[in-house]
Chain A
Amino acid sequence: MTEKKLTKGNIALAEGSIQAGCLLYFGYPITPQSDIPEYLAQNLPKIGGTFVQAESEIASINMVMGASASGRRTMTSSSGPGISLMQEGLSYLAGSELPAVIVNIMRCGPGLGGIAPTQGDYNQAVHGGGHGDYRNIVLAPGSVQEMFDLTIKAFELADKYRNPTMIIADAMIGQFQEPCRLTPEKPVELAEKPWALTGRKGRDPRLVKSLYLGDYEQEEHNLLLKKKYDEIQDNEVMVEMKNLDDAELIIVAFGTPSRVAKTAIGLAREEGLKVGLIRPITLFPFPVNEIYEHSARVKNVLVVEMNTGQMVRDVRIAAHKDAAIHFYGRPGGGFPFPDDVLNEIKTALGGGPR
């Protein structure tokens, strides 16, 4: 076991990208994620990598597109307003089946909003944001260690499925420090890229595109993408499940609220209230089966989010029809505290408002 080192979330993620073999980073500064480009500006050149501060987030994501089409592991990072500007590029990456890692350290909006943590970009990340019919793989770290581990995983998934993968973490996960093991748990998986544009020498020319004008071509392409998304849903769900065996209420939460929920669950159990946790680590693919199975038995589900209710819709769709779905949300600029969540647990178990 390698020694753990006190590390900031954003730094763990940046170091994770290097260890995943990402040698090309393109980005634009925005709070609260600027530690990531700063760390990579410092460290990528030392190992022969490339750091480019682009003129905008639009340029960043398109530089990522070029580097990805070259068959290289590449990443950009930003926060809410910048991610909005990248949506065009994300749609093109998905349409062109190009792998890349896009990091959103979420700040609160809409608009310029503020720099406090939220999860307000859940819908944008999980249900699109760009034009057309596509999905991003979406990973949601809940600790500094996961900022490191899931970054490596993000590159592996992006390459495996030739699909953009987003890491969404609230500003709290990005900014706080925890002991972290900064070496991969297992060897990093690398993928062959027989589609990469490297000059035609010794082979036929290759093309990376997203335009399909012929009869039924676009439909065929979209159905192929759909097949891929189904495969991802079937094979790549990651979820943490705790205290579910005897639970009478399940909290569903990701990121910082999942940590608050864990404390609240401890407080609840001290009072004899049997509460468990389902923490989606992948937001797409969503842990549909896990939520269905446990909600069928438990009947009470409390969704805690740092927004006004975005993931709760996916939980409603996934949950058993007889389960009561309760929601507690703080939309940014304020936090859910363990006592607040405990009160919500009590209200829910008392048959209170949904």
Chain B
Amino acid sequence: MNAIFKRPDSLTNAPTHFCPGCTHGIAHRLIAEAMDELGITDRTIGIPGVGCCVFLYRYFPIDALEAPHGRAPACATGVKRAQPDKVIFAYQGDGDMAAIGTSEIIHAANRGENITVFFVNNAVYGMTGGQMAPTTLLGQHTTTSPFGRDFKSEGYPIRMAELLATLEGVAYSTRVALHSPKHVTQAKKAIVKAFEMQIKEMGFSVVEMLSTCNTNWRVSPLEALKTIESEMIPYFPLGVFRERTGKDFL
């Protein structure tokens, strides 16, 4: 009998630690499928940031290095410079990439490090219990913005995909969402493309994925999916913000 749907080889069968309804698992699966399709699992090294994504090594049967909070792009730089023939990806959340690690992500991107960064944006600090993130939406209630995020005191949510797209070193910067089958399919294409950019040595690639955190948003999994559509996408528009078509940077 032909299997028409199965777990990707690049995904382990470890029980997930993510909350029911969280879309990290979808992101993991898509990355695993992409590794399978591109045949790169044997030469891929994954570098998780700190937060919900830290257990990356449980789910991907690949070599992995745990980075300090926010520093995954710097660690990835070190790995890639030491081993240019390997495929290197960092996997970061919004607190990790858009707050403590802004310096590392901006400069890795600007150097055009030939690495791929997967950025899971769920507008909140997940693992530490739902505090305000740089991507927390205006008016959004978190444990440290209990009256709703107010731009006058907390500033505005940061649009990382657009910000990084302004940098010359970036080959590919896109934002996708993980809340519907259609969007998941688009996300998969973006992930494959981001890896391809690296394999073709085009420079830095980043895929921002709008993701749920129903636990800390205090809503049901289904409502969380709707929140991506109704609240997040209007502020964080989907699309490709930069895409190199040839080695035009040379």
Residues of A within 8 A of B (CB): 24, 26, 50, 52, 54-56, 58-60, 62-72, 74, 88-89, 92, 96, 197-202, 205-211
For B83, list chain A residues within 8 Å (CB).
70, 198-199
Query: Total A-B residue pairs with C-beta atoms closer than 8 Å?
Result: 130
Interface range on chain B: under 10, 10 to 19, 20 to 34, or 35 or more? 20 to 34
Interface pick from B63-71, B175-183, B229-237: B63-71
A72 to chain B, nearest CB (A): 5
- The 8 A CB mask of B65-98 against A (1 = contact, 0 = none) is 1111001001111111111001000000000000
* Cβ contact within 8 Å between B78 and A26: yes
Whether a CB of chain A sits under 8 angstroms from the CB of B168 is no
* Cβ contact within 8 Å between A205 and B57: yes
Check A207/B68 contact, CB under 8 A, given A59-B74, A69-B79: no
Whether a CB of chain A sits under 8 angstroms from the CB of B201 is no
Check A207/B77 contact, CB under 8 A, given A55-B107, A66-B82, A198-B63: no
Check A63/B74 contact, CB under 8 A, given A50-B81, A54-B107, A69-B79: yes
Check A197/B63 contact, CB under 8 A, given A62-B75, A74-B82, A209-B57: yes
Enumerate 12 A-B pairs (CB-CB under 8 Å) in ascending A order: A54-B74, A62-B74, A62-B78, A65-B65, A65-B68, A65-B75, A65-B78, A66-B75, A70-B83, A197-B64, A200-B41, A208-B66
* Cβ contact within 8 Å between B82 and A96: no
Question: Which residues B38-74 have CB closer than 8 A to chain A?
Answer: 41-45, 47, 54, 57, 60-68, 71, 74
Check A67/B103 contact, CB under 8 A, given A62-B68, A200-B61, A207-B63: no
* Cβ contact within 8 Å between A70 and B79: yes
Cα distance A71–B86 in the bound complex, in angstroms? 13
For B74, list chain A residues within 8 Å (CB).
54, 58-60, 62-63, 65-66
For A66, list chain B residues within 8 Å (CB).
47, 65, 74-82
Check A63/B81 contact, CB under 8 A, given A54-B107, A58-B74, A198-B86: yes
For B107, list chain A residues within 8 Å (CB).
54-55, 59
For B61, list chain A residues within 8 Å (CB).
200, 205
Whether a CB of chain A sits under 8 angstroms from the CB of B243 is no
Whether a CB of chain A sits under 8 angstroms from the CB of B104 is yes
* Cβ contact within 8 Å between A24 and B71: no
B13 to chain A, nearest CB (A): 14
* Cβ contact within 8 Å between B79 and A197: yes
Cα distance A208–B103 in the bound complex, in angstroms? 24
* Cβ contact within 8 Å between A62 and B86: no
For A24, list chain B residues within 8 Å (CB).
78, 81-82
Cα distance A100–B60 in the bound complex, in angstroms? 27
* Cβ contact within 8 Å between B62 and A69: no
B103 CB contact (under 8 Å) in A56, A69, A89, A92: A56
Check A64/B78 contact, CB under 8 A, given A198-B86, A200-B42, A208-B65: yes
Check A63/B57 contact, CB under 8 A, given A197-B63, A198-B83, A205-B64: no
Q: Which residue of B lies closest to A64 (CB)?
A: B78
For B65, list chain A residues within 8 Å (CB).
65-66, 69, 96, 197, 207-209
* Cβ contact within 8 Å between B63 and A92: no
B45 CB contact (under 8 Å) in A92, A96, A199: A199
B46 to chain A, nearest CB (A): 9
- Please provide the 5 A-B residue pairs with the shortest distance between their CB atoms, ordered closest to farther: A66-B78, A62-B74, A70-B82, A63-B78, A199-B43
For B79, list chain A residues within 8 Å (CB).
66-67, 69-70, 197
* Cβ contact within 8 Å between A55 and B103: yes
For A62, list chain B residues within 8 Å (CB).
67-68, 71, 74-75, 77-78, 104
